[in-house]
Amino acid sequence: MYVCICHGLNDHQIKQAVCWGASRAAEVYKHFGVRPQCGRCVSYVCERLAYHKKMPAHR
């Protein structure tokens, strides 16, 4: 599922960023060398970060 339409980032990529050490939304975007454009995805990225932190076995 696409999380960020502006940059074409999907949930799998968000998980990947978390596995590589991203713990904040800004670090997720930095991992892919982008910055939020419209910002509509930021709250969802934060939700996914919280979920992946709670569920380390699903990383």
Catalog residues that contact ligand FES under the rule CB under 6 A. Answer: 4-7, 36-41
Backbone angles phi, psi at 52, to 5 degrees: -70, -30
Give the nearest distance from C-beta 56 to ligand FES in angstroms: 25
Element (H, E) at 58: none
Considering the complex, state which of residue 41 and residue 52 has its C-beta at the smaller distance from ligand FES.
41
Considering the complex, state which of residue 5 and residue 55 has its C-beta at the smaller distance from ligand FES.
5
Closest CA to 47 of 16, 20, 11: 11
Considering the complex, state which of residue 45 and residue 57 has its C-beta at the smaller distance from ligand FES.
45
What's the length of the chain?
59
